[in-house]
Amino acid sequence: MRNDAIEFIQTGRRQRHRRWLLVTISMTVLAVVLCLAMLLMGNTVYPLMDVIRVLLGEDIQGATFAITTIRLPRMLAGLFAGFAFGIAGNTFQTMLRNPLANPNVIGITAGSSAAAVFCIVILHTSGAIVSIASVVAGLATILLIYFLSKGKSFSIGRLILIGIGIQAMLNALISYLLLIGAEQDLPAAFRWLSGSLNGSQMDELPPLILSVLVFTPIIILLGKHLSILELGEQAATSLGVSTDKTRVLLIISSVCMIALATATTGPIAFVSFLAGPIAKRMVGAGFSNALPAGLVGINLVLLADLIGQFAFVARYPVGIITGILGAPYLIYLLIRMNQRGEL
């Protein structure tokens, strides 16, 4: 009887692993297809072989400039920002055991955005200074929220409510900065705030790429502890998890990626909110969905950008498209949580 139970558990684990592997491979293949589409499509559609030759260093008149200067930076910005938004949003939602507990809702993105807008419209700077300011502001925002929500004991509900309040204050600050900013700086600020891959440049991408390469392994290695944190504070402590240390490492890793992604592309709406739940629904229980969530984030950003560029007569920033996709889900989630008495 005991052997049958062990075999049943092992069979279930193998099935869950196969499902996780299938989802991860499928999302990776889709991401590769969308990356190729980003390089192939534009005002001029280039053959696949021309794109490959350009990427290998061959100079093709017209194609080399369009692909290496415009399309490749745009694709890489969407790729790494989408992954950062997806995996970081999933980390917050899993760690805090609430789908509303993502960087967009609890004010982290607003903190990074406020710092970036200040740099653009007041200091008239860009590049590395914006990235540094975004990271510092993002970390300062989550530390403030965590400190205010700590109280006698950590409360997820209190953290979310305080985060929503901080977000409202930061959005008001952003509006004030736009009001007093120089007129010539406002178009760039508004374009950035909408969440856009337009104007992406290769020299702006290294900090974002480095953050993804450094912090993604940390989140994946802490995946087991993250799953235990989902059981609750007392259960995690009883199982030997250092909750404060684990939470701090996860928060720093996630906030750095979110802040640098926001500094690069602007706050692309709802990607960090949607990627985790979509990945969780596809992967199911039993395995970490951190990597699938990052891949879902990539696909959401790249697909939304292609839709914004080519599906309409006018061209729309990627953040407009993801906002249209994410807003109905947020309303649905709020109604569902209210019916369950979770609000």
Q: Is residue 207 part of a domain?
A: yes
- Number of Cβ within a 10 Å radius of residue 220: 15
pLDDT at 211: 92
Q: Residue 153: in which H helix or E strand, if any?
A: none
pLDDT at 202: 87
Give the DSSP per-residue string, 248-287.
HHHHHHHHHHHHHHHHHH---TTHHHHHHHHHHHHH-SSS
Average pLDDT of adjacent 10-residue blocks, the chain of 343 residues: 58 76 92 93 86 86 85 93 93 80 80 86 78 84 82 71 88 88 78 81 88 92 72 61 75 87 85 87 78 93 92 86 83 72 57
Give the DSSP per-residue string, 202-252.
GGGSHHHHHHHHHHHHHHHHTHHHHHHHTT-HHHHHHTT--HHHHHHHHHH
Residues constituting the chain? 343
pLDDT at 340: 67
pLDDT at 310: 87
Degrees (nearest 5) of the Cα angle 106, 265, 254? Answer: 45
pLDDT at 239: 58
pLDDT at 300: 93
Q: Is residue 253 part of a domain?
A: yes
Q: Which domain holds residue 204?
A: 76-339
Domain count, the chain: 1
Q: Is residue 267 part of a domain?
A: yes
Please give the structure tokens belonging to residue 206.
Answer: 């290294």
CB crowding 266-291: b at 16 or more within 10 Å, else e? bbbbbbbbbbbbbbbebbeeebbbbb
Please give the structure tokens belonging to residue 140.
Answer: 């300062």
Helix (H, G, I), strand (E, B) or coil at 296: helix
In whole angstroms, what separates CA 33 from the centre of its chain?
Answer: 20
pLDDT at 14: 74
pLDDT at 270: 85
Taking the C-alpha atoms of residue 252 and residue 61, their distance in angstroms, rounded to an integer, is: 45
Q: Is residue 27 part of a domain?
A: no
In whole angstroms, what separates CA 289 from the centre of its chain?
Answer: 14
Q: Among positive and negative, which fits the CA dihedral 298, 127, 251, 115? A: negative
Please give the structure tokens belonging to residue 50.
Answer: 């021309």
Please give the structure tokens belonging to residue 203.
Answer: 């020299």
CATH assignment at residue 141: 1.10.3470.10
Q: Is residue 95 part of a domain?
A: yes
pLDDT at 3: 60
The structure tokens 């008239």 sit at 124
Q: Whole-model pTM above 0.85?
A: yes
Q: Is residue 163 part of a domain?
A: yes
Q: Is residue 264 part of a domain?
A: yes
Taking the C-alpha atoms of residue 156 and residue 165, their distance in angstroms, rounded to an integer, is: 14
- Number of Cβ within a 10 Å radius of residue 340: 8
Tell me the HSE value of 1 on the side-chain side, using a 13 A CA sphere: 0
Q: Is residue 138 part of a domain?
A: yes
pLDDT at 2: 58
Taking the C-alpha atoms of residue 254 and residue 141, their distance in angstroms, rounded to an integer, is: 13
